[in-house]
């Protein structure tokens, strides 16, 4: 059986991995400066930051609509026997519900609610590619991924609360206090929703290194197959320091760096970085 793997642009996979595994990406819509774009197609995070700096207006994202999903699924089913599609957490977007409605229309599509975002989704996508290649049936892949998603450890450190404040996810008072105290909160995903965890204080690089040490403090609990280091735009020296710390703490088989797409960047702003991996 030939199975096609598709995923929303929120999975933040690199172009190289998308090409290697022949993954079809369904882009979310981005509204910016009164215009509408498609995530990663005709707008980039850096362009969003530039427009925000110029206008003071925050970009927003919208779910892939039902017809767009129907088009992608129908096209894939001309060549493949089944489709497995991944969406951002159903608690964060209407993508999952829209994809399910489209799947009912086309048939032979299994939609996975990742209950996650960014490269938390990417872990599931790459696992699905491996399972499909190994000949697993789509319903079995779907069932296994719903089990695995509960083992994901997904979090980010945010450099500025300005974007979260403008997006209504952080009050002006809280943002002012955090910026004044040079606090960098850890945003984590649990049960499909975002929450705020430990708040780190000081220079961003030092906070990120402390965060990595906290997350990987017990290597015996970590699945060492793969880890993603995903950021929304940080200095190369900071990224290198984080990768060095990760490699020193846990012997991962793969350490993959990716740049966050427009969805994470719209809501968290530049300077955000996270490490995303499976727990045992």
Spatial separation of the C-alpha atoms in residues 88 and 27, rounded to whole Å: 11
Alpha carbon distance 269, 272 (integer Å): 7
Instruction: Tell whether 10 and 124 lie within a shared domain.
Output: yes
**Domain range spanning residue 27?**
3-149
Provide the whole-model pTM.
0.92
Query: Do residues 140 and 110 make contact, with C-beta atoms less than 8 angstroms apart?
Result: no
pLDDT at residue 129, as a whole number: 98
Residues 170 and 136 in one domain: no
Total domains in the fold of the chain: 2
Instruction: Supply the pLDDT for residue 168.
Output: 47
Among 119, 149, 179, identify where a domain stops.
Answer: 149
Q: Is 197:155 a contact under the CB 8 Å cutoff?
A: yes
Mean pLDDT of 192-203: 87
Helix runs in 195-235, H state only: 204-215
Whether the pLDDT of residue 162 is over 70: the answer is no
Same domain (yes/no): 17, 141: yes
Residue 126's nearest CA partner among 39, 231, 264, 20 is 20
| pLDDT tens-digit series, residues 100-143 | 999 999 999 999 999 999 999 999 999 999 999 999 999 999 99
Distances (CA, A) of 131 to 39, 159, 169: 28, 37, 37
């Amino acid at each position: 059986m030939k199975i096609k793997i598709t995923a929303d642009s929120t999975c933040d996979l690199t172009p190289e991995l998308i090409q290697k595994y022949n993954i079809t990406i369904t882009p979310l819509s981005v509204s910016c400066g009164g215009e509408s774009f498609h995530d990663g197609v005709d707008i980039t995070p850096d362009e969003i930051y530039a427009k925000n700096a110029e206008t003071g207006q925050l970009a927003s994202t919208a779910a892939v609509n039902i017809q767009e999903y129907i088009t992608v699924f129908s096209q894939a089913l001309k060549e493949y026997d089944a489709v497995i599609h991944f969406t951002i957490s159903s608690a964060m977007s209407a993508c999952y519900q829209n994809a399910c409605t489209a799947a009912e229309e086309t048939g032979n599509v299994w939609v996975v609610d990742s209950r996650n975002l960014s490269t938390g989704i990417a872990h599931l996508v790459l696992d699905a590619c491996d399972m499909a290649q190994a000949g697993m049936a789509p319903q079995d892949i779907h069932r296994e991924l719903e089990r695995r998603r509960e083992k994901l450890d997904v979090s980010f450190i945010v450099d500025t609360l300005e974007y979260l404040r403008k997006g209504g996810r952080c009050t002006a008072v809280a943002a002012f206090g955090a910026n004044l105290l040079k606090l960098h909160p850890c945003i984590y995903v649990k049960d499909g929703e975002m929450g705020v965890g430990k708040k780190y204080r000081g220079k961003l690089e030092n906070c990120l290194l402390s965060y990595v040490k906290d997350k990987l403090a017990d290597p015996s609990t970590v699945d060492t197959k793969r880890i993603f280091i995903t950021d929304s735009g940080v200095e190369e020296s900071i990224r290198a320091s984080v990768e060095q710390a990760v490699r020193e703490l846990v012997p991962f088989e793969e350490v993959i760096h990716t740049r966050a797409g427009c969805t994470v960047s719209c809501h968290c702003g530049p300077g955000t970085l996270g490490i995303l991996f499976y727990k045992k």
